[in-house]
Structure 1
Amino acid sequence: MIPLSSQILAKLLEREEKARAGVRSAPVALTNKDLADYRNGRVLLQAVQFEHDLTVLQQADVIAMERDRGGLICRITVRDYVALAAALGLPTRSALLDEATSVLGPFLAAHPVIGAVLARWRGLGKVRGTDVGDVLDWQSACLALTEVQLAGDVLRDVPIRALSTKLYKDSKRLERLAPLLDVLLQGDVDAEARYPDLVWQELGLIRDAQPARLAGRVTVRRLRNSGVLDSPYGAFDPESVRELVDVPSGVLTIENQANFHAAARAGADEPVLLMYTAGMPGPAWLAMYERLLGSIPVGVPIRHWGDVDEGGFRIASYLAAAAERAGHCLEPELMHPDQVPEEMRRPASAGTLARMAKYAEMVGWFAIAQRVQSAGFTMEQEAMLWRSDETMSSVAAA
């Protein structure tokens, strides 16, 4: 088959697959416009070879052809989809989907989102830029996530490239899988894409080790010494932070750096423990958080101040679970939609709002979950930096 025949028939195969996937309603056919390179007849030998290729397929009942009054082919339709793909040396999309289902099926129980990935591919859609031809990348991402989750603390704070080399004999492959790991972790093909560093942080993997930043006039016991936190804040390896020596008047976690720095300066002399989560906290940070909360009495206000968006409420769900394990209940700080000034609101899709509400419900913030969906917007925490002094006062007084 000459290149012109392959090129034109590949277009016919693509249209047939779109029709089978339900994304094309027009009749599946090639007409004069699609056959322009053949009908122009600039290269007679090529036109003759094209007709020969198509005649062979017509005789085999793979395609059907119609000719105009001048004898030129003017319309081509499909008779046997599978045979047409075979003639072109291409796998059918249904065959690729069957193979993808077989490859990813073992991971469905652990990661139900795989079902949504396969469904998106059946409709010829993509997930984070991938389609059914990228199934082995998804398999690699599932295997990597399984390895990390089974290893638990053994792989805590392991360099990304060291683990990638161990798993794939390729130091950079794991980093290329960050978008797929993000989908697996969030469990939603439509979830907002996060920066890779937030994915690594959640998995407890590191590109560069980052200290935990704490602030406030509180005394912290570490592995080798104890003392009041420096002003405006102190930075420590999370593993070295063991417990609070005195009882603070409150604990406030803060998602974003600018807000933490502003709050730390404003609250350096307040007996409130401020903790910077750096976005999604990793396992080592959460273990430190749980230890600190476990060292103070139940009843001390434990609050979180984060973005009023999908990521912010998802982070809150992780913090709430750790707080609950330590016997405490996490409460929101400036995260109710009604507390967001109108000029700082950004419209959000129904899908985003539904996911925000889901995470708010997981935390137990049911009033916020209900209001999020009716409010219809998101807001990044930095937009409320000007309220950091007010935040400090409210937590200290809680």
Structure 2
Amino acid sequence: MTVLKCADWLASIIDNYEARPDSNGRAKRIDKRDFEDSNEVEKLKYAIAQLISEGALKANYGRHARRAEIESVSLQDAGPIYRMLGRTPSAELARESMVALRREAEGWESNVLNEIESAWARNKRWQGIDRSDAAQIEPIQLLARALKAGKHVGQDMRSFSAKEAGDSKLMETRRKLLAAYLFADENEPLEKLERLINDEGARKIALPITLSGPISLGSMPIGSELDYFSIPFHQMDDLTIDEGIEYVLTIENMTSFHRHASEINLMPRKGLVLFTSGQPSTAFKTYYGRLVEQFGCKVPFFHWSDVDGGGLEIANSLRSLNPSLRLHLMDVDLAEDHGVSSEPISLTNANYAGTVLEPLARFLSLPGAKILEQEKIDPAHPSFH
């Protein structure tokens, strides 16, 4: 049982109030057994009497033989308790943290800024960011405003990001945060950001697609000569894939891709293995969609990622193109056996409900969750797993 001091007990009233500002009048019971010693109980009695006299608390008395004893109190006015504790209200701290973010804000930002301030006033994080780290949102603001103004049109993603926010990779590494800022209170913010970027410019330069398998380029059977190779995206139409492939496997990380291609997908190569390079690019997803159309009804499609929030997002991105996608070397048992302990990951489980990813999403959201880097697991043929 937690042993309390008078100040702790009063602070808990404020904690509950800040978490739920509409909870005025909610009763809090007084149990002498919760306190460190009789001195703390006496301090609390004195404090409660003073706060009742100031209108901060309302006394709720017992019945019958205990009708003269205060059994609980209800919050009426938090102000006197803040003053007694010497504590600054979280709403005030949140407003202070928002000053820089609101200084040059445009009209459309009011919704998301109010959402951020509301979360911080309740001592909650917004998109994983605490009010003490408010400066992390400032470069996201700059990118969001530039996107709204159409400054991205005709630019590649990294040049645009570097020019507007001073970080060439920000649009890639903080994509979810940028989407949440741009499309607050809207459904499918990531999908809307993707459409904004892909339909109107700021395209990521189409990197070559790296793959392994029984493939010919024109009349040249390059798949029989090389464990894997990279092909410029604009030449992907020249590739021919052997119709006898047994599976398609996408892999997030290069080390695991290299090992699967050079240790598992050996001659005669029966697997078509693709390196996603983290979150797949628009070009990659375009090619992947073609593969689903060509082979989706003929062979199983697998994906292998890290077991963490990013890995689930990558798998879900591919699953949106192929609902029949299967996971490879990604399950709770492997994470339990080989993963490392992590703080629970904040996931919107609704995004994964009813999908092959739901068990992992649920696992990562629980206390005691473990994340797993895929490099810790030896590659294996999908058919054998």
**Fold-level match, TM-score > 0.5?**
yes
The CA deviation at 1:100 is 2.3
Q: Per the alignment, do residues 120 and 314 of structure 1 end up closer, same or farther by CA in structure 2, a change over 3 Å counting?
A: same
Which of 315, 340, 347 is residue 355 of structure 1 equivalent to?
Answer: 347
Matches within 5 A, 1:312-331: 312-324=311-323, 329-331=324-326
The CA deviation at 1:303 is 0.6
Q: Per the alignment, do residues 137 and 345 of structure 1 end up closer, same or farther by CA in structure 2, a change over 3 Å counting?
A: closer
1:308 corresponds in structure 2 to 307
Please list every run of 5 or more consecutive structure 1 residues that lacks an aligned counterpart in the other structure: 1-18, 24-77, 79-91, 189-198
Q: Check conservation: 2:253, 2:278, Cα contact below 8 A.
A: yes
Q: Check conservation: 1:348, 1:376, Cα contact below 8 A.
A: yes
The CA deviation at 1:241 is 1.5
- Is it true that 1:119 corresponds to 2:118 in the alignment? yes
Q: Distance in 1 between matches of 2:219 and 2:148?
A: 37
Q: Check conservation: 1:306, 1:312, Cα contact below 8 A.
A: yes
2:272 corresponds in structure 1 to 273
Q: Check conservation: 2:332, 2:359, Cα contact below 8 A.
A: no
1:378 corresponds in structure 2 to 371
Q: Distance in 2 between matches of 1:308 and 1:95?
A: 34
Percent of paired sites with the same residue: 19
Q: Distance in 2 between matches of 1:287 and 1:293?
A: 10
Task: Supply the AA of the counterpart residue of 1:183.
Answer: L
Q: Check conservation: 1:244, 1:292, Cα contact below 8 A.
A: no
1:213 partner SS? strand
Matches within 5 A, 1:224-373: 227-229=221-223, 230-242=225-237, 244-247=240-243, 248-266=245-263, 267-269=265-267, 270-324=269-323, 329-340=324-335, 342=337, 344-350=338-344, 352=345, 354-355=346-347, 357=349, 360-361=352-353, 363-373=355-365
Relative to structure 2, which stretch is displaced further, 288-297 or 257-266?
Answer: 288-297
1:329-384 per-position Cα deviation (integer Å, ceiling 9, x unaligned): 11111111113462x2212223x0x5185554375433444455467211111111
Task: Supply the AA of the counterpart residue of 1:246.
Answer: D
1:355 partner SS? coil
TM-score by structure 2 length?
0.56
Q: Check conservation: 1:348, 1:378, Cα contact below 8 A.
A: yes
Relative to structure 2, which stretch is displaced further, 98-107 or 226-235?
Answer: 98-107
1:54-104 per-position Cα deviation (integer Å, ceiling 9, x unaligned): xxxxxxxxxxxxxxxxxxxxxxxx9xxxxxxxxxxxxx9469559829936
Task: Supply the AA of the counterpart residue of 1:280.
Answer: Q
Q: Per the alignment, do residues 103 and 254 of structure 1 end up closer, same or farther by CA in structure 2, a change over 3 Å counting?
A: same
Which of 142, 145, 169 is residue 144 of structure 2 equivalent to?
Answer: 142
* Higher RCO (Cα < 8 Å, 6 or more apart): 1
**Between Structure 1 and Structure 2, how many residues are aligned?**
275
TM-score by structure 1 length?
0.54
Q: Distance in 2 between matches of 1:285 and 1:274?
A: 13
Q: Distance in 1 between matches of 2:150 and 2:257?
A: 30
Q: Distance in 2 between matches of 1:130 and 1:335?
A: 35
Task: Supply the AA of the counterpart residue of 1:238.
Answer: F
The CA deviation at 1:294 is 1.8
1:323 partner SS? coil
Q: Distance in 1 between matches of 2:137 and 2:308?
A: 30
Q: Distance in 2 between matches of 1:177 and 1:237?
A: 23
The CA deviation at 1:219 is 2.4
Q: Distance in 2 between matches of 1:148 and 1:339?
A: 45
Q: Check conservation: 1:346, 1:378, Cα contact below 8 A.
A: yes
Q: Per the alignment, do residues 184 and 294 of structure 1 end up closer, same or farther by CA in structure 2, a change over 3 Å counting?
A: same
Q: Check conservation: 2:302, 2:327, Cα contact below 8 A.
A: yes
Q: Check conservation: 2:306, 2:373, Cα contact below 8 A.
A: yes
Q: Check conservation: 2:341, 2:370, Cα contact below 8 A.
A: yes
Q: Distance in 2 between matches of 1:186 and 1:95?
A: 19
1:196 corresponds in structure 2 to none
Q: Distance in 2 between matches of 1:316 and 1:93?
A: 38
2:178 corresponds in structure 1 to 184
Q: Distance in 1 between matches of 2:295 and 2:136?
A: 49
2:215 corresponds in structure 1 to 219
Q: Per the alignment, do residues 106 and 227 of structure 1 end up closer, same or farther by CA in structure 2, a change over 3 Å counting?
A: farther
